[in-house]
Structure 1
Amino acid sequence: MAEVSTTNTAQHDVATFTILLDGKEMEAFYQVLSLSILKEVNRISMAKLVIRDGEVADKTFAISEKNDFIPGKKIIIKVGRDGNNKQFFKGIITRHAIRIREKGRTELQIECHDEAIRMTIGRHSRYFNNLKDNELVDQLTSPYKLKSDAEQTSLKHKELVQHHISDWDFLLLRAEANAMLVLTDDGTVKVFKPNTKAASVMEVAYGSSIQEFEAEMDARYQFKNIEATSWDYSNQQLFKTESSTVQFNENGNIPGSDIANATSPDKYFVHHSGHRLEQELQSWTEGMMMRSRLAKIRGRARFTGFEGVHPGDMVKITGVGARFNGNACVTAVKHDIADGTWETNIQFGLDPRRYAEQHNDDLDDRSAAGLIGGIRGLQIGIAVQLQSDPDGQDRILVKIPVIDNAAQGIWTRVASLDAGSDRGAFFRPEIGDEVIVGFINDDPRDAVVLGMLHSSAKAAPIKGSDANHEKGFTTRSKMHISFNDDTKTIKIDTPAGNSITLDEKESKIEIKDQNNNKVTMQPSGIKMESPANIDIKAGAALTIAAGTTLSIGGPSISIKADANVSIEGAVAKLAAQGPNEITGLPVKIN
């Protein structure tokens, strides 16, 4: 587009405007003292009217009492010259106020916002699956009956989670993550990357069109290189991406990369501890670099009212010196109309702080939902009582010394490896044990014991080593379950000496009791040992079989049956070193 100036072609040069309320033109006798319209990237567009209202004699504000400016009414504002007006703003009335000034001046103040203001009200939580960020914009704006105009993004997210945040804030964060800006424009939400290579839509020059001007160059937020990292758990290493350049035409005669030498480290590091893909990290660093360059020169210019400039446009600035001359990216446009005059203010450049830094209080909900003073982080607790939960919720009583070391504490739930109806892992601390406590929603009334802690005062039963072969569990009475990865051994034992050992290194399983009874299973066979008797008893049949030889030996052997005894073999031999006695009634020998 060819460059244009702010030349005014109106015959009488009188600023005029038209205001429509729910589609009907505002009463002609209403005296509008001033009118301003502001459209700015990453903010909801707004307009403000100041109307003469209020009569001290009647003790009333007649216009205020009418239904014309009730919050929620739709409003359209058209601005121009000599009655040739064009739409500059469309939205709803959001604020209605009256004011009595000194010397009796009274007025009605009306504030309006783009209908996208509804996106800022209320916090929402939901899941999004298999969509791109431009598709997310469509889904976020659709419930509010807003039009969506978002540039295409490339990365398709398997899942995105919106947690307890307004739709507007979520949209802004996702736009920023893609190096994009957001503009609300008469019911349309536009999401776009700044195009600094575009032709300027107008020229403002010192000595002709510029009425006021200020600009500053700041080296503190210029970076040489931005590196982002996240954790790739599939490969157990860091993802890394970096950006040192960005497609951005800068105004002024000193590039941001040169200014960065004044203050910037060689690399500016940002990191995300989760699993973020390299493509997402790349968009992140590019967005930060784009914001850095947009923040290099920030300023504003005021000139005679001009309709042809909008946020996102490029404006040519001349006559202010080589440091600031050139095409600047417009990030806000404000039109002020009063007393028949119309002035336009433009803002160029961008706040160097990211959206989350500027609006942290809005993004983060209050601790404990603001119902009580919150408690942040983990706290140390001491187990006081394990039984008699007054509510029957299987909680334990825990004292948190930093809250009140003299008090009994608070009833606290206990996290477990597994928990369900009549099942789960059941390990509770001993009374006096040191525990670590977390808090649901940072509410000190909703405490959860997350685990127990060893220290020099309460030493672990196994000494730590880098080899870390030994793991296990030891109870208060010194019962043990231990695992040894070096010997590949699992052992369960009691203080009295009862034990079961599964030993893979020696290829054996051993069961032993405190009476020195022992069963050993190993490659050579099974061995049963006892210093006393061994009794084997079966309620039905007992079968003993051997693949080769079955040997039974002892000082005395007795075989007795209440019915028949049968001994058979291919060859049978009965021998004794003394007398053989065979008795029966009768005795048959064939």
Structure 2
Amino acid sequence: MSIIDPNLGKGAGKASSSLSTGKIVENAADLSGLTDKLSNLEDQLADKLSDLTAPVQEAVDKAKKAVDTAKNIANQAQEIKKIIPGDLTTLPNGLITPEQYAEFKGLNSLIATYGGDPETNLANSHIVYSKITIGGERVLADSHFVVEIQQKAAEHDTFTIKCSAEAIDGPKAYPMEKARNYLGKRTTIQMIQFGAPAFIFTGIITDITNERENGESRLIFTGKAPTILLENGLDSQSFENLDLAGIIKNATAEYPQDLVQWDIRPIMKEKLLYTVQYRESDWDFVKRLATRYGEWLGYNGQQIVFGGYGGKTVEMVEEQDVYDCKLRMQLVPQKFNYMAYDASQAEPHMVDSDSVPITHRLVNPFQQHAIKASEDIYSKVPTSLYNHSLLEGGRPELKDAVKRQKLKRQNVFFMEAKTNNPNVRLGDIIKLKAWMPGHKIFKNGEVPLESYKIIEIKHFHDITEGYINEVVAIPMDNEVPPYMDEDAIPLCEEQSAIVTDNNDPQGMSRIRVQFPWQKPTGGQSPWIRSITPYAGNGKGMHVIPEIGEEVIVAFESGNAEKPVSLGAMFNGKGKSGHGGAGNYKKGLQTASGSHITFNDQVGDMTLSDQGGTVMNFDGAGNSVISSKEHITLVCGESRIDMLKDGTILINGKDIGVLGSTTVNVGVGAGENINSGIGIEANNVNICTQNLIQTGTTEVSINSPGKVTVGSKEETTIVGGKVKIN
């Protein structure tokens, strides 16, 4: 754009006609410089003007866009009013059909688009909005965000919160500058309807993600229910003679009450002889107990519920609260037998499912039909081994197991639905009604479809799209959850243990042991059986380990609650004292010191006791019995005593000393004992065919009384000199 008036050129032309040629050239040169200056000035002014007009033009464009948007919204509002007359907030109970929902969905976006606190904007409206508190701080009060909560029985509930990064950290902030402080914080999500909380969920943020996509940064907060705190590592411990409530209270006693709150109401009240948590997190342990014994387990948003039959009851009507509904039935075999071995009674038990009655009556017609169909089509009755406990309870314990399995098999019918009612939680009961206008019996058109217990629910809320949930439920009458599994046992590998008791009150040669992982809590096993080479009624080998000694323990079916001792083991503090090169020496030694030893190198065998008595068989046909004090041989009324001072006493009714060639009896030491013999008795009779008395020096027959020497035949007295009197 030029700023020089065109008329100036005309005036200049007239003036120049009276100028000389020299002047013209000179003036032309001056005008050329002026033109350059004017051209530069023109460019500068153009740039300045462009800077001034650009913001104005941008503002004009935005204004036009805003006008267009307002017109568009107004048109949408008019269309919605044609569908739903009146104020949207006056609709009772949020009874909005999916078709209506899709058409006026854009109207809800006004709140998100232009901001504002839903707590103020919606007040007592039927429209659901979310309220979030992290670490005691209200967040995202006037910002757009999306919330999703997933709850499932016997699983960790999860939640996610998605929002703009700027809504938490502020504009132009370092990534997660403030958001990172929320990691590990307690988070409460409330679904508000009619000005009051309809649903409350408290969890813990476990993961924070900052992601940038299409030029926009957003934060994703992911968290779990407080049950995640029970996943603090693998633990091992045991419990004796406690019911399920006592076991759970003991196992979770160390957790903070403000974060982990329990509602423990198990259906099974009986005490359990021996319960093991082996290399499991506390959550996996609690979950396994619920799975094994058929107890309900879940988080209702504020408490961990173990047991019980259900929460509150909420009525829902199809086409009002319920958008979509799916009813599904299935076939499940109903008849079976359980067999188990009772070691205490030394006999097997068998229980068939038909012999165990179910006390409650099923009222759901769909469920009744599915069970009847299952019974009709499955004709074979299988028998399974129940090898899951020591069966100290005998047959009644087996009947309880059959009852749990029978109840579990009644899970043949499921209800799935999508609703806009935020008042339901995991474990709550939905009293479902079908919408059937003109029904002959139910004049209001609401026909009962029975009641269902929620076993899984997913909550979703976006202020631009509203609240919705998806539920999976089973008939309310089901006492045992679908996830019940008798095989949920603690698996354990063979390991060593220390004997704590061996005085079996039932005389079954059982022992009690303590595993290394039981020592910190003072736990021990119940009475367990031991392997022996030979056993039976009134017979067998009774050799059991001593208290304090080490044994190796295995587990029937790998079940940590069914230990059995395989035998004792030597260790660094308990050595046999035998062995050596060639492995010649073998033996058996008791705790008191009595032992039997075998030496295969020389072939001998020795029996000895702690007192020093030894019986040795040298392998060459020789045997020696030795004792430090006294040896006694007894047979009936006969007895021989040998004392350490050299005294030998022979006692019996008749005593005979016979020798086929010679009998030498002497007193003193020597190879031939002949230094002297003393015989003392009231009467001594020596009878023989030939009696020869010889003395190398002297033979004397002397008596203070009478001495008679006689013979029926000839008496001969011979001597060098014979003196008579």
TM range (shorter): 0.5 to 0.7
Give TM-score scaled by structure 1 length: 0.63
2:664 is matched with which residue?
A: 558
Residues in 2 aligned to 1:355 and 1:560: alpha-carbon distance in whole angstroms: 88
For residue 265 of structure 2, the aligned residue among 151, 164, 175 is: 151
SS at match of 2:93: coil
Asked if the contact 2:334/2:409 (under 8 Å) is kept, the reply is: no
SS at match of 1:65: coil
For residue 301 of structure 1, the aligned residue among 403, 410, 417 is: 417
Check if 1:255 corresponds to 2:369: yes
Residues in 2 aligned to 1:129 and 1:157: alpha-carbon distance in whole angstroms: 7
For residue 290 of structure 1, the aligned residue among 407, 417, 425 is: 407
For residue 161 of structure 1, the aligned residue among 270, 276, 280 is: 276
1:28 is matched with which residue?
A: 141
Check if 1:541 corresponds to 2:647: yes
Give a deviation string over 1:340-391, Cα, whole Å, max 9, x none: 511122111398554698x99xx879999xxxxxxxxxxxxxxxxxxxxxxx
1:334 is matched with which residue?
A: 458
- Distance apart, 1:125 and its partner CA: 0.7
- Distance apart, 1:234 and its partner CA: 0.5
1:398 is matched with which residue?
A: none
Matches within 5 A, 1:46-195: 46-53=158-165, 64-67=176-179, 70-81=182-193, 83-101=195-213, 103-144=214-255, 145=257, 146-152=260-266, 153-194=268-309
**CA gap 1:325/1:27 in 2 versus in 1, 3 angstroms:** closer
- Distance apart, 1:419 and its partner CA: 2.4
Q: More helix per residue: 1 or 2?
A: 2
**CA gap 1:193/1:176 in 2 versus in 1, 3 angstroms:** farther
Residues in 1 aligned to 2:227 and 2:409: alpha-carbon distance in whole angstroms: 27
AA partner of residue 297 (structure 1): F
- Distance apart, 1:514 and its partner CA: 5.3
Matches within 5 A, 1:387-426: 417-419=568-570, 421=573, 423-424=575-576
**CA gap 1:589/1:352 in 2 versus in 1, 3 angstroms:** same
- Distance apart, 1:51 and its partner CA: 0.8
Give a deviation string over 1:21-42, Cα, whole Å, max 9, x none: 222211434431x112233321
Check if 1:311 corresponds to 2:427: yes
Check if 1:348 corresponds to 2:473: yes
Asked if the contact 2:426/2:454 (under 8 Å) is kept, the reply is: yes
Residues in 2 aligned to 1:148 and 1:100: alpha-carbon distance in whole angstroms: 40
Residues in 2 aligned to 1:121 and 1:537: alpha-carbon distance in whole angstroms: 72
AA partner of residue 364 (structure 2): E
Give a deviation string over 1:495-522, Cα, whole Å, max 9, x none: 9998999xxxxxxx9x897559999x99
Asked if the contact 2:187/2:205 (under 8 Å) is kept, the reply is: yes
Residues in 2 aligned to 1:253 and 1:493: alpha-carbon distance in whole angstroms: 76
Matches within 5 A, 1:5-24: 7-8=93-94, 12-24=125-137
**CA gap 1:347/1:225 in 2 versus in 1, 3 angstroms:** same
AA partner of residue 343 (structure 1): I
Give a deviation string over 1:183-221, Cα, whole Å, max 9, x none: 2234422122436xx99521332x4443223343221xx
Give TM-score scaled by structure 2 length: 0.53
SS at match of 1:64: coil
Give a deviation string over 1:419-476, Cα, whole Å, max 9, x none: 254544978999xxxxxxxxxxxxxxxxxxxxxxxxxxxxxxxxxxxxxxxxxxxx99
- Distance apart, 1:182 and its partner CA: 0.8
Give a deviation string over 1:145-194, Cα, whole Å, max 9, x none: 23322225321123322111111121122223332211223442212243
Residues in 1 aligned to 2:152 and 2:581: alpha-carbon distance in whole angstroms: 57
1:233 is matched with which residue?
A: 343
Asked if the contact 2:132/2:138 (under 8 Å) is kept, the reply is: yes
SS at match of 2:322: coil
Residues in 2 aligned to 1:570 and 1:65: alpha-carbon distance in whole angstroms: 122
Residues in 2 aligned to 1:367 and 1:19: alpha-carbon distance in whole angstroms: 50
Check if 1:581 corresponds to 2:694: yes
Residues in 2 aligned to 1:74 and 1:199: alpha-carbon distance in whole angstroms: 25
Asked if the contact 2:180/2:208 (under 8 Å) is kept, the reply is: no
Asked if the contact 1:89/1:186 (under 8 Å) is kept, the reply is: yes
Identity %: 12
AA partner of residue 127 (structure 1): S
SS at match of 1:88: strand
AA partner of residue 74 (structure 1): R
Give a deviation string over 1:14-59, Cα, whole Å, max 9, x none: 3222111222211434431x1122333212333211112269xx99
Greater gyration radius: 2
Q: Give the stretch that moved more between structures: 157-166 or 557-566.
A: 557-566
2:324 is matched with which residue?
A: 212
Residues in 2 aligned to 1:105 and 1:364: alpha-carbon distance in whole angstroms: 50
SS at match of 1:174: helix
Residues in 2 aligned to 1:326 and 1:426: alpha-carbon distance in whole angstroms: 77
Residues in 1 aligned to 2:458 and 2:698: alpha-carbon distance in whole angstroms: 128
Residues in 2 aligned to 1:30 and 1:234: alpha-carbon distance in whole angstroms: 69
Give the number of equivalent residue pairs. Answer: 455
Residues in 2 aligned to 1:173 and 1:129: alpha-carbon distance in whole angstroms: 17
Give a deviation string over 1:104-140, Cα, whole Å, max 9, x none: 4542111122222111231111121221112222223
AA partner of residue 148 (structure 1): W
2:12 is matched with which residue?
A: none
**CA gap 1:522/1:72 in 2 versus in 1, 3 angstroms:** same
Asked if the contact 2:291/2:483 (under 8 Å) is kept, the reply is: no
SS at match of 1:130: strand
**CA gap 1:496/1:113 in 2 versus in 1, 3 angstroms:** closer
AA partner of residue 19 (structure 1): I
Asked if the contact 1:180/1:194 (under 8 Å) is kept, the reply is: no
AA partner of residue 423 (structure 2): E
Give a deviation string over 1:70-101, Cα, whole Å, max 9, x none: 22111111112365445511121111112334
Residues in 2 aligned to 1:213 and 1:84: alpha-carbon distance in whole angstroms: 27
Matches within 5 A, 1:358-369: none
Asked if the contact 2:198/2:422 (under 8 Å) is kept, the reply is: no
Gaps of 5+ in 2: 1-91, 96-121, 437-447, 475-479, 496-565, 589-595, 608-614, 626-632, 669-674, 704-725
AA partner of residue 332 (structure 1): E
SS at match of 2:690: coil
1:201 is matched with which residue?
A: 314
SS at match of 1:7: helix
SS at match of 1:176: helix
Residues in 2 aligned to 1:537 and 1:514: alpha-carbon distance in whole angstroms: 28
Residues in 2 aligned to 1:140 and 1:165: alpha-carbon distance in whole angstroms: 11
1:443 is matched with which residue?
A: none
Asked if the contact 2:637/2:652 (under 8 Å) is kept, the reply is: no
Asked if the contact 1:310/1:330 (under 8 Å) is kept, the reply is: yes
